[in-house]
Amino acid sequence: MQRIIIETPDSLSAILVGARWEAVTKLLPQGDVVIVTDANLFNLYGNRFPRFPVLKLKPGEDSKKLPVIQKLTTEMLRLGFDRTVFILAIGGGVVCDVAGFLASVYMRGVRCGYISTSLLAQVDASTGGKTGVNLGRIKNVIGTFRQPEFVICDTTMLRTLPDTEYMSGLAELIKTGLIGDRSIIDILENNQAAVLGRDRELLTDLVARSVRFKASVVAKDEKEGGIRRILNFGHTFGHAIELHQSVPHGFAVAAGMEIAARFSLEKKYIGVKVYDRIIRLLRQYGFHGEFKVTPRRVRELISHDKKKSGDMISFVFLKGIGKAEVKKLPVDEIVGFYSNFRDL
């Protein structure tokens, strides 16, 4: 097991990579605890949950909305929970987002911790303290920053993930390697069979590398005022593709990374050799971007991007494998590049 600490001015969060999820009982406080999970996770693991009340969500992105938060709050009040309650999330990114948001607003804030069950959540969504729900089709526009006291990343749980969900997480792992830890890229290039075979030891190492990098970024910039923005590499176009084409988050981000890599090449921030290496890795793991979104629709969707300020967007470029930089660009330039990219 590897223990990685995220320390911010107001909180301390321990990420336990490779720990067994059943050990959570040693981390829970005395007193009231409520579990938030989804129906799929409950069916798989519910008979081994700690013996506390369980609030179940409908699996999927449709649970990330304010009426669900209202329903959960009502149920917690019915059960008699006060501000001493501890919320334990057991699930992937949606469950952690919802439970974290609930913890940040229930009676103005209660304690929480996560058992992160998907690769996407382990390498990204459950660490760093971001929570959020969607408003209609606008992703995470309502949210807070709330650091969990702990996150358990048990890579044995990844064996039960559907292939699509597992591959979605691999895309975010690739993203981390491209923006910050190039050793991740080397490992993915040279260990495809073990990665696709979900080798526990290898996955524990990869998740720990990803979390360690993210922890270093979040410690410097918890609320995304500066360097943390590099974690959005591939997301400006990725979110537009996800919303328009209804594809899983990681697959959309992979497509967004392909576009952003090409944009980096056009800007001469990277050379052809680096660009070709990125595309080769994406293809190696089966990510073949389909860019069905029209430029007009891209403009509409990125107008709601949280990185937008006036007519400018903070766009993440690559300066090499393992090195990223944020540049503010006019929306017109971003949409114009995309229009040209689709014609290639």
**Would you name the residues annotated as active-site residues?**
108, 130, 172, 214, 224, 228, 232, 235, 239, 249
| Pairing, β 111-116 against β 86-91 | parallel
d(CA 93, CA 90): 10
CB burial of 189-228 (b: ≥16 within 10 Å; e: otherwise) equals eeeeeebeebeeebbbbbbbbbbbbbbebbbeebebeeeb
* CB-based contacts of 38, cutoff 8 Å, min separation 6: 56, 57, 58, 59, 63, 91, 92, 94, 95
C-alpha span between 210 and 128 (Å, rounded): 12
Asked if 298 and 335 count as a contact pair (C-beta separation under 8 A), the reply is: yes
C-alpha–C-alpha distance, residues 269 and 272, integer Å: 10
Closest by alpha carbon to 299, among 258, 331, 262, 344? 331
DSSP 291: -
Would you mind telling me the total number of residues written for the chain in this entry?
344
> Collapsing DSSP states into helix, strand and coil, what is residue 128?
coil
Sequence-distant contacts of 259-264: CB under 8 A, at least 24 apart: 259/234, 259/289, 259/291, 259/338, 259/341, 260/233, 260/234, 260/236, 260/315, 260/316, 260/317, 260/318, 261/178, 261/318, 262/341, 263/315, 263/317, 263/337, 263/341, 264/317, 264/318, 264/319
Q: DSSP label at 20?
A: -
